[in-house]
Amino acid sequence: MISLGASAQTAPATGPDEPPASRKVDADKTADKPIGKPVAELDRVEVTSSKRRQLQDEVAGTVTALSGSKLEQMGVKDAEDLFKLTPGVQFNKGNADGALYSIRGIGTNTSSDNVIFGQTPTGIYIEDIPFTDPYVYISSPDVPPFDLERVEVLRGPQGALYGSASLGGAVRYLFAKPQLRQQQFSVLTGVSSVGQGGTGYTTNLMANLPLFSDVAALRVVLTKRRDAGYVDNKGTGRKDINANDAESARVILAFKPSATLDLTATYMRQHSKQNGDSGVFPDPEKLSIDTPTDARIDSRIDLSSLQANWDMGGLKLTSLTGYQTKRREQQTDVTYLLVPDFTLYGGVNYPNVDRAINVEPRRSNGFTQEFRLAPTETGDLSWLVGVFHQKVNFFRSQVVTLPGANDPVDLPGDVYFETVRQGSATENSLFADFDWKLTPKWTAGAGARYFKTRVNFDRSNFGAPFTRFESDESGTTPRFSTRYELSSQASVYATASRGYRFGGINTTGSLPYKSDSLWNYEIGARLRPSRQLSLELSAFTLRWKDIQVSTSDPNGFIVTTNVASARSNGLEATLGWRPVNSFALNLSTAITSAQIKAPFVSGNGRDVASGTDLPGAAKFQATADASYNFAGPLDSSGSVSAVLQYLGKRKAQLDADLVLPAYTTLDLRTNFGWTHWELGAFVQNVTDKRGQSSAAVNYSSYQNPGAVNFTQWYPIRPRTVGVTLRYDY
């Protein structure tokens, strides 16, 4: 499914010998084109979601493609902005690098505060290197959209080609690649102000430097931004505590020593620091919290990768090697969770304790290697075979202190709880994928992945010797598809695919949980009645069994168990219309019903009935995106654009009666461009709507009727006004 702006403006994928999408669109801005004449047409978009290039119209499935140029034109600066453009994909906000994503309603939490063990159900890939934690949750990368080639959102399970985690779907971030023949330079800077909050800024730099003509080139991308804070802490007296300072760097080297061999080496680093919590409490309508201690989050993500493509004469061998690290230092205030309710120690009273502090250092490092073999020329049969290996080492400790307890017997050093979790998760797999053109109009496809997973887990509580637990699983994830061209303007498809996640072991004992799996059955149609109009429709049912659910035991410890089953049924539709060159309109909707289909009892004893909605699954979402180009003042090329988003109400947590209300937001932007310069102005969330993106309920307070019911809400960004200035050479 082509997303809003992508229907009209997403450019094909590019290689090292052609300008990237962002530069193509920049060139179009300054072209001497007639305004308002019916000469425009919707692009035929090229994607690589099947790990080989093909037109999006030829994919027997639903893929949303958003070009980097589109994201920059719309002023997208982070994931919160990005996923407004993809109805059916829910962005569940958290602190820096702490968001959760769900696609087609597949998720069991909206807040990463409730996630310790278990893979999240949406795969995140950066240059095809998996960044979804296979066992212990560390963080979720928020990739800056500046100088991206494109973002692809793959809907439905992707187990055959992408392996574990991609139950509801996958998100692929693809960087713009070095250009071997063209020197390029871009600077984008801006400043913004958030209503009832602070001031933010962003500075982005890109330099493309050919080193040897047609042989090697270097592309360097640097970004630095401050996301303005807007949450105040009444307990400490600090304002705008959730301001986030983020820096990132990318260095990409392309080397093509011969016509049959090319190599691309990539290094990326992202670093975010946030000195306060983005969640609010107790009133979700007020941008404030009341805790005696401010949160601190320091998150860093690194990626080193090397991709080699070797044309062996009729066959192409691809090697992809990656090494990624994550580090996250997090301190949070858990006073409302623990101080009123000492369930672990039988309600012992500590009159001098007025706060509780939770400190969690987390880190992981992972090595990935994939080899793929495919024909260089595809006839009636297109195929791909591959082998995949990934090993991730992880560490996550937790120390909860009650300053002032002064109890050397039960709480030595004021330590209420202390644990260390470390180990490794390994996945090895073989995969194959085929598409066979049975007739000029009819194509059938099939694929499968055989996998083995292993988790080694060591745990120590309160400094005791480590206890080791192990978990091994294996299985096969197939996919089947068929596609038929009714005419040059219409095609239909059907697909069935399966996804899976790692199994594992809990921290509170040797109780294991096994891999869960999901089948997706989908039919769809693509219609292009004219060059200016496109319509894409899809209907799906997803059947999820042995669901991994993170809930709390009676002592407040989060555990993961396999429970029940669930089903998600839905319809998706996208309309793209570009009647004239100067105007484009895109409408996208998703209707989803995602529910538990068998009752179960959560870890804290609460009944979850059959028919309970899955968290984060809005029954209706819609986005409208319109843009208009015109001749601006001072011989400029002007444009205005608007994004209107509606997100229906959602359940926030499976075992809590907590609903996130529906909301509507409107974003406006205008740009004026000259040959090398572009000036922009924008207003996001024009009506200053107090929407809630996610929420989490305190588990332990259920055990004590007199305790405070601690619910933390994560609001969307308030009204934000800003200006940007860009220079391209």
Check: CATH 2.40.170.20 for 6-728? yes
Tens-digit pLDDT profile for residues 298-316:
999 999 999 999 999 999 9
Provide, rounded to the nearest whole percent, the portion of the chain with pLDDT above 90: 67
d(CA 131, CA 125): 6
Phi-psi region of 163 (alpha: psi -120 to 50; beta: other; left: phi over 0): left
Quick check: 483 pLDDT over 80? yes
Looking at residue 566, what is its pLDDT? 94
DSSP run (H or E) holding 336: helix 335-338
- Measured CA to CA in angstroms, residue 704 lies from 226, 559, 695, 700 at distances of 41, 20, 21, 8
Looking at residue 341, what is its pLDDT? 54
d(CA 598, CA 543): 12
Strands of 649-710 (E only): list them: 650-651, 659-660, 663-673, 677-684, 692-697
d(CA 219, CA 268): 12
Confidence of residue 457 (pLDDT cuts 50, 70, 90): confident
Q: Which DSSP letter does residue 12 get? A: P
Quick check: 398 pLDDT over 80? yes
Q: Which residues pair with 358 in a beta bridge?
A: 332, 400
d(CA 447, CA 450): 10
Mean pLDDT confidence for 430-435: 96
And the tokens for 559?
Answer: 């555990």
Provide, rounded to the nearest whole percent, the portion of the chain with pLDDT above 70: 90
Looking at residue 20, what is its pLDDT? 37
d(CA 385, CA 464): 47
Quick check: 32 pLDDT over 80? no
Q: Residues 6 or more apart from 437 whose CB is under 8 A from it?
A: 379, 380, 381, 443
DSSP string, 383-428: EEEEEEEEEEEEEEEEEEE-TT--BTTTBGGGEEEEEEEEEEEEEE
3-state secondary structure of 232: strand
And the tokens for 300?
Answer: 């860093």
Quick check: 547 pLDDT over 50? yes
Q: Would you say 219 and 177 are in contact if contact means Cβ atoms under 8 Å apart?
A: yes
Sheet of 122-126: strand order equals: 62-67, 148-155, 169-175, 122-126, 129-130
Quick check: 543 pLDDT over 70? yes
Tens-digit pLDDT profile for residues 692-716:
999 987 655 444 444 446 789 999 9
Q: Which DSSP letter does residue 110 get? A: S
d(CA 609, CA 188): 51
d(CA 129, CA 152): 14
DSSP string, 597-662: -S-EE-TTS-EE-TTPBPTT--SEEEEEEEEEEEE-STT-EEEEEEEEEEE--EE-BTTS--EEPP
Looking at residue 21, what is its pLDDT? 35
d(CA 92, CA 113): 11
- Measured CA to CA in angstroms, residue 495 lies from 60, 231, 482 at distances of 7, 45, 6
- One-letter amino acid for residue 155 of the chain: R
And the tokens for 172?
Answer: 């692929």
Confidence of residue 553 (pLDDT cuts 50, 70, 90): low
Q: Residues 6 or more apart from 529 whose CB is under 8 A from it?
A: 489, 535
d(CA 263, CA 499): 31
d(CA 286, CA 232): 9
d(CA 539, CA 155): 12
Q: What is the dihedral of CA 268, 25, 585, 665, to 10 degrees?
A: 40
Tens-digit pLDDT profile for residues 206-238:
999 999 889 999 999 999 999 999 999 999 999
And the tokens for 253?
Answer: 């080297």
Quick check: 449 pLDDT over 70? yes
Q: Which residues pair with 72 in a beta bridge?
A: none
Confidence of residue 556 (pLDDT cuts 50, 70, 90): low
All structural domains of the chain with their residue ranges: 6-728
Phi-psi region of 166 (alpha: psi -120 to 50; beta: other; left: phi over 0): beta
Confidence of residue 404 (pLDDT cuts 50, 70, 90): confident
Looking at residue 600, what is its pLDDT? 87
Cα 633–Cα 636–Cα 637 angle in degrees, nearest 5: 115
Mean pLDDT confidence for 549-575: 83
Mean pLDDT confidence for 162-171: 91
Looking at residue 561, what is its pLDDT? 82
Quick check: 557 pLDDT over 90? no
* Helix boundaries (H) for 472-555: none
Q: Residues 6 or more apart from 436 whose CB is under 8 A from it?
A: 380, 381, 382, 443, 444, 445
Q: Would you say 638 and 670 are in contact if contact means Cβ atoms under 8 Å apart?
A: yes
Mean pLDDT confidence for 571-592: 95
d(CA 630, CA 628): 7
Confidence of residue 26 (pLDDT cuts 50, 70, 90): very low
The answer to whether the bond into 12 is cis (omega within 30° of 0) is no
Looking at residue 17, what is its pLDDT? 42
Closest to 37 in 3D by CA, of 464, 582, 536, 544: 582
- Measured CA to CA in angstroms, residue 481 lies from 237, 381, 567 at distances of 58, 14, 21
d(CA 279, CA 714): 4
3-state secondary structure of 30: helix
Confidence of residue 88 (pLDDT cuts 50, 70, 90): confident
Q: Would you say 140 and 100 are in contact if contact means Cβ atoms under 8 Å apart?
A: yes
Q: Would you say 221 and 147 are in contact if contact means Cβ atoms under 8 Å apart?
A: yes
Mean pLDDT confidence for 378-384: 90
d(CA 168, CA 165): 8
Average of per-residue pLDDT values in the chain: 88
3-state secondary structure of 85: helix
What's the full length of the chain, in residues?
A: 729
